[in-house]
Amino acid sequence: MNWKEEYKKLIWIVAVFLAAFYLPIGNSRFTQAIYEALALAKWYAQEHVLLCLVPAFFIAGVISVFVSQNAVIKYLGASAKKWIAYSVASVSGTILAVCSCTVLPLFSGIHKRGAGLGPAIAFLYSGPAINILAIILTARILGTELGIARVVGAVVFSVVIGYTMHLIYRKEEQIKAEAQLAMPEPEVSRPIWQTAIHFFTLVLILIFVNWGRPDADNGVWHFIYSNKWLITGLFGFGLTLLLILIIKIKITQVVIAALPVIILAISFPANPVIAFASAVIALSILLSVNEGEASEWMSSSWGFAKQILPLLGIGVLIAGFLLGGPENGQGIIPNNWIASLVGGNSLFANFFASISGAFMYFATLTEVPILQGLIANGMGKGPALALLLAGPALSLPNMLVIRGVIGTQKTVVYVSLVVIMATISGIIYGIL
């Protein structure tokens, strides 16, 4: 018998027993924190999983199955030209309006296809950090100065953090580069333009289905918001054509699968999420019952979902328990503690803003009103930038999933780099 392993099990049993024995059930703060954890999980399931993560899983599946490994290696691989790799990775967030969790399937997809660690990390950071909608909202609500500082800091961060990760693990990256050079040229199953249309159709569905309500009740942004489900439906129709023309699914199957979606969209115009959910189910069934690339796409997307969703669920519950739910709730850590610790421009204030922002969860665009409230409660402008640079790109759920993709050590290094750079940037911005 391996007594070392048995002792580990005993320690876990004792720890769980003691935790259960001393649960502070009667403590109002503890009870409220449990409620906030469940409230955040409910909000996340209702607002984020179906509309954000599910499309992201299908996009990741497209990257994994349809995007040539050679193409990923050419532009983002360990042996790719650095200026090309980091240029492509660092501006990806202007195309993908995603948050720190939605970007995870996409990051996992390009990492699986052979992207170098540095460019993959740059992509991971830039996806949520350089969200063009969030930057516009930041400039409009929090001021042009902070908006410019955010976009400059985010672009620089993605490149510096990615390249630093590359340097730290350069020996490992060198081995990967040599292995990629030795790989035979893969056969191209279809023209790149077909894959590009397929990919960007799904990306545009992701973008428009999550289009947020603007402040003004007129103008282009409001027009898009008012018609976002119509626009999403048009791209959904485009996707059905791609299923027939590119994926080679029989037209009769596609029509039969699309009919319930159309009927539900007409029957429930006030609740288009019902039709969207039925479209997801119909697409999943279509891909599952067809062999070849269709089933490979579904299998890859499901693989990402199995890997990511359980860790996200655990992370969301922990984040809600510690910091509160979506409606400015109180977690086990009081909100006024956080607000009181980020005033001024001290090293501690900037570091605390960076570290707390890194562990908090921000859905796309929510960091702006949260930060607006903190600034109103005395938050300094340096810590405000530090939180903007660390918060949207990281979260506790995000960290748990990244660990599953690149390992514990690399995750710790990545998170540390983000927190350190955000702290330094906040101090410099506060001084200026």
pLDDT tens for residues 305-357? 887 777 677 777 877 787 777 666 677 877 677 767 777 788 888 998 888 88
Assigned domain for 412 exists: yes
Assigned domain for 232 exists: no
Can you tell me the distance from the alpha carbon of 252 to that of 328, in angstroms, rounded to the nearest whole number? Answer: 49
Q: What is the mean pLDDT of the chain?
A: 80
Burial pattern 297-321, b for ≥16 Cβ within 10 A else e, equals bbebbebbbebbbebbbebbbbbbb
Confidence grade of residue 237 (pLDDT, cut at 50, 70, 90): very high
**Residue 407, phi then psi, degrees to nearest 5:** 100, 165
Confidence grade of residue 276 (pLDDT, cut at 50, 70, 90): very high
Look up tokens 């699986």; give the residue: 112
Least confident of 54-63, 241-250, 326-335: 326-335
Assigned domain for 271 exists: no
Assigned domain for 198 exists: no
Confidence grade of residue 236 (pLDDT, cut at 50, 70, 90): very high
Least confident of 49-63, 66-80, 97-111, 381-395: 66-80
What confidence tens digit (pLDDT) does each residue in 370-428 have?
Answer: 676 677 666 788 888 888 888 777 888 788 888 888 888 989 999 999 999 889 988 98
Per-residue pLDDT at 365 exceeds 70:
no
- Max mean pLDDT range (151-155, 214-218, 407-411): 407-411
Q: Tell me what the mean pLDDT of segment 9-34 comes to.
A: 85
Per-residue pLDDT at 194 exceeds 80:
yes
Percent of the chain topping pLDDT 90:
17
**3-class secondary-structure state, position 185:** coil
Assigned domain for 238 exists: no
- Number of structural domains found in the chain: 1
> What sign has the CA pseudo-torsion 175, 178, 182, 183?
positive
Assigned domain for 370 exists: yes
pLDDT at residue 82 in the model: 74
Whole-angstrom CA distances from 20 to 23, 24, 260, 318, 323 are: 5, 9, 48, 17, 22
Assigned domain for 122 exists: yes
Q: Tell me what the mean pLDDT of segment 6-20 comes to.
A: 86
Q: What is the distance between the terminal CA atoms of the chain, rounded to a whole angstrom? A: 63
pLDDT at residue 120 in the model: 81
Q: Tell me what the mean pLDDT of segment 118-147 comes to.
A: 73
pLDDT at residue 230 in the model: 93
Higher local confidence (pLDDT), 198 or 43: 198
pLDDT at residue 78 in the model: 59
Per-residue pLDDT at 20 exceeds 80:
yes
Assigned domain for 281 exists: no
pLDDT at residue 77 in the model: 60
> To the nearest 10°, the Cα dihedral for 367, 368, 370, 372?
150
Boundaries of domain holding 140: 36-190+290-431
